[in-house]
Amino acid sequence: MYKTSTQLLKLNNKNFNRYIEYASSVVYNGGTVAFPTETVYGLGANALEHSAVSKIFEAKGRPADNPLIVHISSKEDISKIALEIPDQAHKLIDLFWPGPLTLIMKRKRIVPDITTGGLDTVAIRMPANKIAISLLKNSGCPIAAPSANLSGKPSPTTAQHVLKDLNGKIDIIIDGGDVTIGLESTVLDLTSSYPTILRPGDISYNDLCAHLDRVEVGYNNNAEESKIVKSPGLKYKHYSPKSHVILALLTSTIEKHAEKIVQLQKENKEKKKKVGLLLMEETSQHIKSYYHLNNSFSLGKNAIDAGKALFRGLRYFDDNNFDIIIVDGNINNEGIGVAVLNRLRKAADEIL
């Protein structure tokens, strides 16, 4: 097992260049560096070096057939790793990069098998985050970076989350504060007959449809159970804390929904369980008694807020050894709400 002492570098204006140069030299020399992006914190290593990338899989405990996203700092870098750039890619890149859209294209052989999980395609993204871009530019290589959590756990949205999961297993964590989006990028496959969304994210189905003739949806909320999966990552359990997660979907009126959550909380408390609630503001306004709002964490007013708060909330209750987390599914299934509900379904042990 690769063991190291992990350095936490807290960036400020004064140390920015010095710390970025140092972290970049660690990447260049085959080490591992966790860094913020606009989506979640990533765990990066030189994407073109087998031994560097193997440290990512080892630190996370990630299955070897689950490929990594390769991050680049300029649009021109695509041609270094992709065999051919489809016409649609040019359009999408001009519209959405830098940003939370990962594009899958045919790979060049320079990208080692370990990075792509043995596939002949490669996932590529240019992040919209100054720290990530500076690290990429200074290290001079494409950086493979999955989310910087232990495999199966909720993705990290702060440097403290990364430290909790990976301390002693990676070389550096760059603390650049909270991320802005809080959910992983949209993954779009451009190697199928039609562009296919393999993972929903901040760039939504409608955003893509506005610029493409046809967009397919290739993820399925029960993909863990399906045998054939296009994106290897889809078949693994995800975003799941130790606690038992119950997703309470909005199936009737808001009043009945609030009552359902209170009832679930009551039943579990009677069984002497420590119960936490992740609640949308609208729902908590329908829970009249403060008693029931004890141990509740707000997911905010809308799906954008929920995206930012979700993983932090799951981690909060997990770190504090709650047995049960009841999550409010009162989120519109549109825009980023699709991605929030997708992550919630994957995190949930029970959906009611």
Contact footprint for Mg ion (CB under 5 A): 146-147
Q: Number of residues in contact with ligand AMP, rule: CB under 6 A?
A: 19
Taking CA atoms, 56 is separated from 75, 79, 275, in Å, by: 25, 24, 34
Among 134, 139, 147, 284, binds ligand AMP (CB under 6 A): 147
Least CB distance from residue 107 to ligand AMP, whole Å?
Answer: 7
At residue 212, what is the residue type? L
For ligand AMP, give the closer residue by CB, 66 or 302. 66
For ligand AMP, give the closer residue by CB, 23 or 187. 187
Tell me the C-alpha distance between 75 and 77, whole Å. 5
Among 119, 208, 249, 264, binds ligand AMP (CB under 6 A): 119
Which parts of the chain are beta strand (E)?
A: 7-10, 33-36, 41-46, 69-71, 101-106, 121-125, 143-144, 172-175, 186-189, 196-199, 216-217, 244-249, 275-280, 296-300, 324-329, 350-351
Least CB distance from residue 151 to ligand AMP, whole Å?
Answer: 8
Q: Which residue has the tokens 């004890």?
A: 294
Tell me the C-alpha distance between 183 and 155, whole Å. 8
136 binds ligand AMP (CB under 6 A): no
Q: Are 24 and 36 in contact (CB under 8 A)?
A: no
Strand order through the sheet with 350-351: 296-300, 275-280, 324-329, 244-249, 350-351
Phi/psi of residue 21, each to 5°?
Answer: -60, -40
By CB under 6 A, the residues from 313 to 352 that bind ligand AMP are none
121 binds ligand AMP (CB under 6 A): yes
Least CB distance from residue 90 to ligand AMP, whole Å?
Answer: 19
Would you give the binding string for ligand AMP spanning residues 164-203, x where CB under 6 A is met?
Answer: --------------------x--x----------xx----
For ligand AMP, give the closer residue by CB, 221 or 332. 221
For Mg ion, give the closer residue by CB, 150 or 351. 150
Q: For residues 229, 233, 236 and 240, what is the CA-based torsion angle, rounded to 10 degrees?
A: -140
Least CB distance from residue 29 to ligand AMP, whole Å?
Answer: 23
> If contact means CB under 5 to 8 A according to the sort of partner, which of Mg ion, ligand AMP, none does residue 203 touch?
none
By CB under 6 A, the residues from 14 to 73 that bind ligand AMP are 66-67, 69
| CB-neighbour burial class of residue 328 (10 A; exposed 0-12, middle 13-18, buried 19+) | buried
For Mg ion, give the closer residue by CB, 31 or 146. 146
> If contact means CB under 5 to 8 A according to the sort of partner, which of ligand AMP, Mg ion, none does residue 9 touch?
none
Phi/psi of residue 295, each to 5°?
Answer: 55, 40
By CB under 6 A, the residues from 85 to 104 that bind ligand AMP are 104
275 binds ligand AMP (CB under 6 A): no
Name beta bridge partners: 217: 197
For Mg ion, give the closer residue by CB, 146 or 329. 146
- Residues at the contact surface with ligand AMP, assessed by CB under 6 A: 66-67, 69, 104, 116, 119, 121-123, 146-147, 184, 187, 198-199, 231-234
